């Protein structure tokens, strides 16, 4: 019962954070360029959200302070990889591999924080600050969070779960690109300038049709390199990296159980004065 309550508490926080993030992605579809873009404020809110998710995971014993050191190491490694390979091969970037592997082993809160903080740190290191940053942080956080739920459902790693995780990584590669295009479409493409562009007041069906055409024409090939790269890295390196992370989790996450003392029975005393019947 207690384990169920701790899982639900973590999930509730992530649902609230996801709901707030969806507002940031969907509001431009209603307001277009009128939607404000305070980069520092939105980025800070996403970073604080990641910290809140970690705090809840710590309080509910889903994570430990020593596992936060593992998170810091993964974020630093990923930010360094992005510094070396800022763009990658078209849409491919190796940073999603560790985000997905970390989330799979450590859980959805760890995964969300790994994705969001990796993009924040790498943006600071590479001078990649811009209106896209909070949206990149959210999308990458959701990639890691989704991997955490894949790990929770599939259980311990095996060739089958690695295959499932590789397929998830492939889907996440496309999903990340779609989310970023969904933000970019109404803000960076002139409203109504072409049949592919966003226009105010268009219906839902027309909006979906226009965005689908826009995505297929501008981004699907680019994103396919990210999706294929995720799938390949997880298929080749996933087992070894996940096994190492699982060892860290077993070593650094200790669940204490209090043994209930056995009730002491009073010793049976036999009286020596028992008489023998006549």
pLDDT of residue 166: 96
| pLDDT at residue 267, rounded to an integer | 52
Contact 239, 157 (CB under 8 A): yes
**Percent of the chain surpassing pLDDT 90:** 37
What whole-number distance in Å separates Cα of residue 188 and Cα of residue 250? 46
Q: Which residue has the tokens 């591999």?
A: 97
Query: Is this structure's pTM higher than 0.95?
Result: no
124 or 161: whose pLDDT is higher? 161
Two structure tokens written together for 273: 């004065």
Q: Look at residues 187, 183, 213 and name the one whose alpha carbon lies nearest to residue 200.
A: 187
Q: Residue 129's closest CA among 45, 11, 230, 38?
A: 38
How many residues make up the chain in this entry? Answer: 278
User: Binning pLDDT at 50, 70 and 90, where does residue 234 land?
Assistant: very high
Q: Which residues contact 222 (CB under 8 A, 6 or more apart)?
A: 90, 91, 177
- Res. 13: pLDDT tops 70: yes
pLDDT for 190 equals 63
Average predicted confidence (pLDDT) for the chain: 82
Q: What pLDDT was estimated at residue 226? A: 92
Of 213, 182, 184, nearest to 196 (Cα)? 213
Q: What confidence score (pLDDT) does residue 79 get?
A: 85
Average pLDDT over residues 141-165: 92
């Amino acid at each position: 019962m207690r384990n169920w309550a701790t899982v639900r508490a973590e999930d509730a926080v992530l649902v609230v954070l996801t709901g707030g993030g969806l507002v940031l992605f969907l509001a431009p579809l209603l307001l277009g360029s009128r939607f404000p873009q305070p980069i520092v404020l939105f980025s800070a809110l996403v970073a604080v959200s990641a910290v809140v998710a970690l705090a809840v995971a710590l309080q509910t014993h889903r994570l430990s302070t020593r596992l936060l050191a593992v998170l810091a190491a993964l974020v630093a490694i990923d930010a360094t990889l992005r510094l070396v390979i800022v763009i990658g091969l078209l849409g491919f970037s190796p940073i999603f591999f560790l985000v997905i592997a970390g989330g799979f082993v450590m859980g959805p809160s760890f995964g969300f924080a790994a994705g969001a903080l990796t993009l924040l740190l790498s943006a600071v290191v590479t001078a990649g600050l811009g209106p896209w940053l909070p949206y990149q942080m959210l999308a990458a956080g959701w990639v890691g969070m989704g991997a955490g739920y894949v790990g929770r459902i599939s259980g311990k790693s095996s060739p089958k779960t690695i295959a499932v995780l590789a397929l998830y990584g492939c889907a996440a590669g496309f999903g990340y690109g779609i989310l970023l295009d969904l933000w970019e479409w109404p803000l960076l493409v002139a409203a109504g300038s072409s049949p592919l562009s966003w226009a105010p007041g268009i219906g839902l069906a027309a909006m979906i049709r226009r965005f689908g055409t826009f995505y297929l024409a501008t981004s699907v090939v680019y994103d396919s390199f990210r999706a294929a790269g995720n799938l390949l890295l997880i298929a080749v390196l996933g087992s070894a990296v996940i096994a190492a992370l699982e060892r860290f989790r077993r070593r650094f996450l200790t669940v204490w159980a209090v043994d209930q003392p056995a009730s002491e029975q009073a010793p049976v005393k036999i009286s020596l004065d028992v008489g023998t019947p006549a």
